Every structure is written in C-alpha cells, then in structure tokens.
A and B are shown apart, each in its own frame.
Chain A
Amino acid sequence: MLKINNLHVAVGGTEIIKGLDLEVGSGELHAIMGPNGSGKSTLGYALVGRDGYAVTEGSVEFEGRDLLELEIEQRAAAGVFLALQYPVEIPGVNNAYFLRAALNAQRKARGEDEVDSIDFLKSVREQLKILKMDESLLKRAVNEGFSGGEKKRNEIVQLAVLEPKLAILDETDSGLDIDALKLVAEGVNRLRDSQRSFIVITHYQRLLDYLKPDRIHVLSDGRIVESGDASLAERLEREGYAFLDATEA
C-alpha cells in the first residue's frame, strides 16, 4: 500500500525528516511514537502534501503511484487522509455541507457519481451516533466552538464518511478522556479491513491497547530508530524514550 523510501523533508529550510523508511501493507495498522519535536506531524503533513513541507529527497509510493507528484486534493481522492493533531476551525462553513462537498469532490475526481443526499445524511448520522456526537454539530460551522474532544471526534467522523484507503491519525487521542478515547478507538476499529491501512501517531499505550497495532515504530530526530511489535509500546511506557539514547550510544 505505502512505501516510503529514504524520505527527507525540510520545513522553512530546516531538515526535519532525515531519511525515513517505512512500509505499510494493506490492512495493516502501524503506530508511530516518539518524543515531541521528532517530526511525527511533519511526516503526516509531507504525506498529504501540505505547502511548505518540502520533500528534498526520497520517494513515496502509494498503491504503485508516485504520491509526491499529486496535488493535495488528488492525494485525498486517491485515498490518503490525515486526521490533524489540531483540527482547523472554518467559521461560517456548515459541517454537513463541508463533508458532502468534500465527499463529492473526491468522488468526482475518481469519476464516480455524486452521493445521494439522503443516503449521505443517513450515513453521517450513523457515524455521529457511533462517536456519541450530537446531531446538531452538523448544522454548526466546521470545528468552530467545538471542544477539544469534539474536534478530534469530528476528524474520525470525516474519516468514516470519506473512507480513505490510508488514514494517518496524528495524536487523535491526545487530550481525550478515557470514554472519548474508547469511542475513537471503536470508530477506528470499525473501519479496519483488509483494504484499509492506518498510521497512528500517539504518545500513549492506552490507545494502542484498543487498536492492537501490527507494528510500532519510534521516530527520533527525523528517523525511525526502532521498530517492533506491541511489546515495544509497553517498553516505551515503562522506560520512556531515554533508552533510545542508550541504544544509540
């Protein structure tokens, strides 16, 4: 599904990702952990093509295509989705309208028909129910006045409605209480299937307990310095990132 090879990303002239390799197969869920400032969000932004996140070296192949050649919205239509660490408020733009416009834009780019508006509303309402979000959120402006937790859950609603092939979740669990965390984890688990892959950026073992990742990677200073199975997360939880320095030394 995704093959990242020797990726280098610079932001404002400073190299942040410094030669990163990662392969994610169809249906797999990988977790990325690592200290603050290690480049986790930068990796997410670079994968979806945000301006200012310049790929200076390396390649990213997504389902056999060169992902880096595509515009932001083309990557979305191809099936790449990033749940932002800090979801953006869009004043004056109705949440339901935005979701439908986004879905239809993606469908159009893929040569598919527009969604039926009744089916669409049904499916959005269902997702809201799963995430225990009030239906009135649909009528409100995107993320405006949402609580931190509502914003994060709203990202998962978008994820569920847009049904990407690769979802990158950037600290979606940060700032959530345990109930909201469970809801998010359930939301993600429901969407897992053999055709959909996840990269989950997190600081916490808690979320991973629910998600049961196939692989865990530790990102430090722009590189993956350690990869392993679920036991790696447990070790990080116990020892923190300090052991990385020890292994490097």
Chain B
Amino acid sequence: MSALMEKLVPDTQAPDDGGFGLARRKALKVLMQHGFPQRKTEHWKYTPLALLEKRALQGPIAQQGERPPAPPALPFATGLVHLHNGVLDPDRSDLPSGVTLVAMLPEDIHFSELDDSGPAHAFAWLNIARFAEAWRIGVEPGLECRLAVVMSFDDGFSGVVHPRLKLELGEAATVTLVESQQGRGEGLCNRVFDIELATRSRLTHGIERASAGAAMIDRTVIDVGRDADYRAYVLDGGGPLTRQDLIVNLGHANAHGSICGVAILHDRSLVDYHTAIEHRVGPSTSAEDFRILADDQAVGVFNGRIHILPGADDSHSTMNTGNLLLSENARINTKPELEIHAEDVTASHGATIGQLDDLARFYLRSRGLDDNQAISLLKYGFAAAVFDELPEGDLRDWMIEQLRKRL
C-alpha cells in the first residue's frame, strides 16, 4: 500500500457506515485497487500530492466543547451553513424558510459518473468512503434567496476531513450562493459538492477561497436543468495545494452554464483548476473565463475541457484563459480542450500567457502612481473583468473588494 493510502485510508478511522455501506464498500474497493494518482496520472501531473505524504495528517479535527470562531464577514445578510474543521456548526447555521438542511440519504450519493478503472477520481471515492457528515440543502420551488456556505478551520487543524454537500434548487428557484473557504492548519479538506438546478432555476455561485496551510481538494459537480442558468465566479488567493474540479453538466435543453475564475498567487502557492463543461443536450450554451496571476514561485494550472456530445446540436460555447506571469520563478500551465461531436455548433477558445505591459506601467507612473500602485492597478485591470458580468451587484462588489485586497 502506498504512503498516501496509509495516511488517507487508515483502517482505524472508518466512520460508522450510516446506511451508506454499499457506496462506501464500492469506494474502498476502487481505492484499494487503484490507489491515488501518481505523477504520471492524467490530470494529476501538476497537483503536488507529495505534500500530503509529508504531512502528519492526524490529530483531533474538533476541539471538544469549544465553540467554533465566528465565520468571516459576508457580502450580505444571508442564510448560512457553517462548517468548521469540516463539521457542521449547528449554532451558527441558520437558513430562511423554504430552505431545508437535512442529512443526506444513500440515494443522494451519486457515483455512476466516477471512474472506477483508475486513480483519476480517487479523492472523490475517498470522500464517499470516509465522509463523516453529508448535508443536503434544499430550496423550494420558486423561492428567491441568498445563501452562504462558509468553511473555516482552526490554526491547529491537522486532520483529514471529507465534507460532503448537496444543493438542490427547486423549479424556478433563484439563488445567490456565496462560499467562503478559509484554510488553516496543516490538514486536508477533501470536499465534494453536488449541485442540482431544476427546470428554470437560476444559481449565481461565488466562491472565495484561500488557505494559510490546509490542502484543499474540491470537486463540485453541477447538473443544470432545462431552461436553467448556472454561473460560477471563483476567486482564489492561493495556498500550498488547492485543487478545484468544476464539472458542469448541461443535460437539458436551453441549459446555460458559465464558469469564471481568478487566482492571485504568491509565494509557493499552487492552484490547479480542472474544469469540464459537458454539453449533452442541445441547444445549450456555456462560457468560461479563467485568469491566473502567478508571482514569486507560485504555480497555476488551468485545464479546461469543453465537450459537445452527440445530440447537443445547436450548442454554443466560448472559453478564454488569460494568464500573467509576474516573476521568473512562477509557472503557469494552461490547457484548453475542445471536443465537438455535434452539429450546428459554435465553440471558440483562446489562451494567453503574458507579462505585465511595461509601457502601461510607465504610463501609469507618468501620471503619478508609484510602481507598486501601477502594478496593482494593472493586475486588477487584468483580473477584474472576469467579474464584470456577475449579475448580482452586491456579490460583484464583494468579490472585487476581495480581489483588491489580494493584489
């Protein structure tokens, strides 16, 4: 058994199967058979899992009897689900009427789309095998509301947690969801978040994340219903290992999905985005725009796949990734992938990696800004455009404020 296997799947920590026995056994079997990704495993080349091998990855995940600290400030008053060290903080979680929070049932766990023939989805399997809590948030049809999911950690957090969440939007519900994830300590948070948008529902999804220590592995899968509209806006401030898989399934007519993100990376931060937009039925539309700004010795990865499957005729997609290398020692790897198997389709993609424009820098300085201000402003100008289209003004202002703080 590999070192990572012993660390992440120790026999002693098996949780109560909680009725999830079937799924858990399947997950364990896949893990035992294929283990964790290696350096050569497709889609895991740049994720430094060796970091996890070096970590102790044990210790209590929750201080007994201690009240978790208050979650960070949010852009607006909202219903709140607070997870501290990966566990629900029931005192601070509070949802408006029409929104329910219940423990997941076995049928809420989907794994038919996970690869069981290799290690590519090992962390998703690991989540199934080892999650301690799994929560389902339901929004009733037609409801309009704002929600927040906040994840915080103790400074001394050194455990491994596998939070599992599901959000279900009822028909024609309109939701703004803001997520704040602030990693600390030396542990690993291996989260899975499933989101389902029923017919004509709309979700605007902001994710603001940074980690001062904890490794953050996140797999978010969104199923967009007929005439439904999903928009994600991600802002990453870095951390030693942040891996974001974002999968948008457009499986119904007139489904729309757009995903945008900005990563502002300093020091030795690593953020690895793996996104997939699956046009399964046409007509459907998607748009994607990710920007990585890597300074110091940071590493940014963007692997964006747009897949237009047979039957998704009359689908339209645009993808763009723009990247700024701000130091000689920073690295950015981008790979847009476009696969089209349908007709009457338009799809475009563009990718650039550049540096700060010296002439623009001079221009700003010649108007009185010092060099640092000029650089910040240029970085801001490069990144902020991603949030221009954010339809929810309060969320946009907040994301832009968080962005400014990180420049």
B359 / chain A contacts, CB cutoff of 8 Å? 88
Contact B366–A90 (Cβ < 8 Å): no
Nearest chain A residue, comparing its CB with the CB of B359: A88
Q: Kindly identify, within residues 1 to 59 of chain A, every residue whose CB is under 8 Å from any CB belonging to chain B.
A: 48-51
Stretch at the interface among B20-28, B224-232, B330-338, B367-375: B367-375
Stretch at the interface among A97-105, A179-187, A188-196, A214-222: A97-105
Other-chain residue from B358, B366, B382 in contact with A48 (beta carbon distance below 8 A): B366
A101 / chain B contacts, CB cutoff of 8 Å? 369, 373, 377
Quote the shortest CB–CB distance from B334 to chain A (angstroms): 19
Stretch at the interface among A71-79, A120-128, A129-137, A235-243: A71-79
The 10 closest A-B pairs by CB, nearest first: A92-B381, A106-B368, A102-B367, A93-B381, A76-B368, A72-B365, A88-B363, A105-B368, A102-B368, A92-B385
Question: What is the interface size of chain A, counting residues whose CB is below 8 A from a CB of the partner?
Answer: 30
A48 to B364, CA, bound (A): 12
Quote the shortest CB–CB distance from A114 to chain B (angstroms): 13
> A141 an interface residue at 8 Å Cβ cutoff?
yes
Quote the shortest CB–CB distance from B55 to chain A (angstroms): 38
A92 to B293, CA, bound (A): 15
> A158 an interface residue at 8 Å Cβ cutoff?
yes
Contact with A along B288-327 (1 / 0, CB 8 A): 0000000000000000000000000000000000000000
Q: How many A-B residue pairs have CB under 8 A?
A: 76
Q: Kindly identify, within residues 341 to 377 of chain B, every residue whose CB is under 8 Å from any CB belonging to chain A.
A: 357-360, 362-371, 373, 377
A81 to B368, CA, bound (A): 9
Nearest chain A residue, comparing its CB with the CB of B379: A92
Contact B367–A158 (Cβ < 8 Å): yes
B46 / chain A contacts, CB cutoff of 8 Å? none
Using A76-B368, A84-B363, A141-B381 as known contacts, say yes or no to A105 and B373 having CB atoms under 8 A apart.
yes
> A224 an interface residue at 8 Å Cβ cutoff?
no
A186 to B364, CA, bound (A): 26
Using A93-B377, A93-B381, A141-B381 as known contacts, say yes or no to A88 and B368 having CB atoms under 8 A apart.
no
Using A91-B382, A91-B385, A92-B383 as known contacts, say yes or no to A105 and B363 having CB atoms under 8 A apart.
no
A213 to B397, CA, bound (A): 48
A-B contact pairs, 18 of them (CB 8 A): A72-B365, A72-B366, A73-B366, A76-B367, A88-B357, A88-B360, A88-B362, A90-B381, A91-B382, A92-B383, A92-B385, A93-B377, A93-B381, A102-B364, A102-B368, A103-B368, A106-B368, A141-B381
